[in-house]
Each structure stands twice: as structure tokens, then as C-alpha cells.
Amino acid sequence: MKTEQTRRHVLLNTAKGALGLFAAATVGPIILSACKKNDSAGKPTTNNSGDASQPTSCPNQEALSEQDKTVRASLKYVDKTPLPGRTCDNCKLYTLPQAGALCGGCKVVPGPIHPKGYCTAWIARM
Ligand code: SF4
């Protein structure tokens, strides 16, 4: 009985994880297409990369769904890393921005991802 409950629990959790990854992979590119470097909706104010032409945050984050915001918050995603040397652009899960866009994407965090951002799922790119 207990073994059956444990097996069911593992299967349910695996299915939930797979569904979350599928949703991130499906919705992420749609949001990324709206993430343009000079989009006025982003209203960047200061720079965190040392390059004055680069905004400090990704635009259009207000358009994210509540579920996407929850995933981002649960992994503590931020547009500016608190850990020097651990940034999205050196993370194995980062996907490069489209031509002309500042922000790329991520295989686990939905929405636009700043190259100098960070979350707790960071994995060193080899
Ligand atoms: Fe950035 Fe986290 Fe995605 Fe890595 S897993 S690219 S650190 S958001």
C-alpha cells in the first residue's frame, strides 16, 4: 500500500514537472518575440552591464501571465545577478536573443531573460 502511494506520488510529480517545462518551452518563444532591445515599453533607466546602451531590464515583463510570474518568482529570477560570474549568458539553460533583441530566453524560466540576469536554477555552461 505504502509503495503504491509512493509510486503514484513520484509519477504525479514527474508529470507536473514535464507539464511545466512544456509550458515554458511553448510560451517562452512567444514572449521573446516581443522582447526588443529598443522597445519603449521596457523603459530602461540605468545600466548593469557597463555598456550605457544596454537597458538594465527586459521589456514587456508586465505582459507575463500570473503562472509565468509565479515560476519566475519561485526560481528567484532577477534581471541583474547578485552573484558575479553567474549570469544567464553563461548558463547552460540560456537561449540567445533574436537578432536586434536584448533579452534571450531560458529552457526553464518563461518570459524574456536578461543576459546579465540570474536564477537559482543556474547551471554553468561548459
Ligand atoms: Fe538564467 Fe536561470 Fe534560465 Fe539559467 S536557468 S538562463 S540563470 S533564468
d(CA 70, CA 64): 10
- Does residue 91 have its Cβ closer than 6 Å to ligand 1? yes
pLDDT in tens, 26-61: 444 433 433 333 333 333 333 444 455 677 899 888
- Does residue 78 have its Cβ closer than 6 Å to ligand 1? no
Which tops the pLDDT comparison, 86 or 52?
A: 86
Residue closest via CA to ligand 1's atom 1 equals 88
d(CA 37, CA 103): 7
Instruction: Summarize the chain as % helix, strand, coil (round to 5).
Output: 40, 10, 55
When pLDDT is averaged across residues 85-112 and rounded to a whole number, the result is 97
| For the CA of 94, the nearest atom of ligand 1 | 6
- Does residue 25 have its Cβ closer than 6 Å to ligand 1? no
Task: Please report which confidence band the pLDDT of residue 110 belongs to, taking 50, 70 and 90 as the band edges.
Answer: very high
Nearest alpha carbon to residue 109 among 117, 6, 41, 4: 117
In the chain, pLDDT over 70 holds for what percent of residues?
58
- Does residue 93 have its Cβ closer than 6 Å to ligand 1? yes
pLDDT value, residue 55: 77
For 15, phi then psi, to 5°, come to: -65, -40
Q: Which long-range contacts (CB under 8 A, 24 or more apart) does 35-43 make?
A: 35/59, 35/60, 35/97, 35/98, 35/101, 35/102, 35/103, 35/112, 36/100, 36/101, 36/102, 37/97, 37/100, 37/101, 37/102
Residue closest via CA to ligand 1's atom 3 equals 106
Q: Whole-model pTM?
A: 0.63
Burial class (CB in 10 A: 0-12, 13-18, 19+), 49: middle
